[in-house]
Chains A and B, each alone.
Chain A
Amino acid sequence: MNLRQSFRIAFKSIGAKKGRSFLTMLGIIIGVAAVIILVSLVQGYRDNMMAYWAKQGQNIINIYYSTWYQSKNITQDLYDYCLQLDEYIDGVTPSASLWGMNVKYGTKTLMDGQVFLGSDQYSICTNMKLASGRDLSYIDVKNANRVCILGDYARENLFNYANPIGKRILINGEPFTVVGVYKALYPIEEGKEESVWMHQYYDGQIVIPYTAKRLLQPSMEITAFTVKAKDKDSTTKAISYLGNWFSTRITPENGYYDVSSANTYIESSNEETRMLQIVLGGIAGIALMVGGIGIMNIMLVTVSERTREIGIRKAIGAERRAIVSQFLIESSVLSFLGGLIGIAVGALGTVVLGKVIFDLTLYPSMVIGAGAAGISVFIGIIFGAYPAVRASGLQPVEALRAE
Chain B
Amino acid sequence: MSLIDVKNVYKIYNEDMDCEVRALNGVTMTINEGEFVAIVGASGSGKSTLMNVLGCLDVPTYGDYFLQGEDITELTDKELSRVRNKQIGFIFQGFNLISELTAFENVELPLIYRGNRTAERTRLAREALDRVGLTDRINHYPAEMSGGQQQRVAIARAIAPKPPIIMADEPTGNLDSKTSADVMQLLRSLHESGSTVILITHDPAIAATADRTVRLLDGKIVEDSANREYEAVL
Contacts and interface: CB of A to CB of B under 8 A. Distances in A.
Decide if A and B are genuine partners. Answer: yes
Interface of A: 1-2, 5, 8-9, 12-13, 16-17, 308-309, 311-322, 393, 395-398, 400
B59 interface: yes
A317 B101 contact: no
A312 B96 contact: yes
Nearest to A15: B100
A13 B59 contact: no
Given A397-B57, A400-B96, A319 B113 contact: yes
B78 A1 contact: no
Nearest to A13: B100
- Which 7 pairs between the two chains have the least Cβ-Cβ distance? A317-B85, A16-B100, A396-B57, A316-B110, A397-B58, A319-B81, A317-B84
Interface in B111-149: 112-115
Contacts of B92: 315, 400
A319 B96 CA distance: 18
Interface in B26-85: 52, 55, 57-59, 77-78, 81-82, 84-85
A311 B90 CA distance: 12
Contacts of B86: 317
11 contacts: A1-B113, A1-B114, A2-B115, A5-B112, A13-B100, A314-B57, A315-B84, A315-B96, A395-B59, A397-B52, A400-B96
A397 B115 CA distance: 24
B100 A396 contact: no
B5 to A, nearest CB: 21
Nearest to A8: B112
B77 A320 contact: yes
Interface of B: 52, 55, 57-59, 77-78, 81-82, 84-86, 90, 92, 96-98, 100-101, 105, 109-110, 112-115, 157, 161
A393 B77 contact: yes
A1 B105 contact: no
B113 A317 contact: yes
Contacts of A321: 78
B113 A316 contact: yes
B37 to A, nearest CB: 20
Nearest to A16: B100
B152 to A, nearest CB: 16
A309 B57 CA distance: 14
Given A317-B81, A319-B113, A16 B101 contact: yes
B88 to A, nearest CB: 9
A344 to B, nearest CB: 28
Contacts of B101: 12, 16
A320 B80 CA distance: 10
A317 B58 CA distance: 13
Contact of B113 (A13, A322, A400): A322
Contacts of A17: 100
B78 A309 contact: no
Contacts of B114: 1, 317
A340 B97 CA distance: 34
Given A321-B78, A397-B52, A314 B58 contact: no
B87 to A, nearest CB: 9
Nearest to B158: A316
A312 B113 CA distance: 12
B112 A9 contact: yes
Nearest to B79: A319
Contact of A320 (B59, B81, B96, B109): B81
A395 B101 CA distance: 23
The interface centre, meaning the residue of A2, A319, A400 with most chain B CB atoms within 10 A of its CB, is A319
A400 B58 CA distance: 11
B84 A312 contact: no
A398 B112 CA distance: 23
B113 A318 contact: yes
Nearest to A321: B78
A164 to B, nearest CB: 77
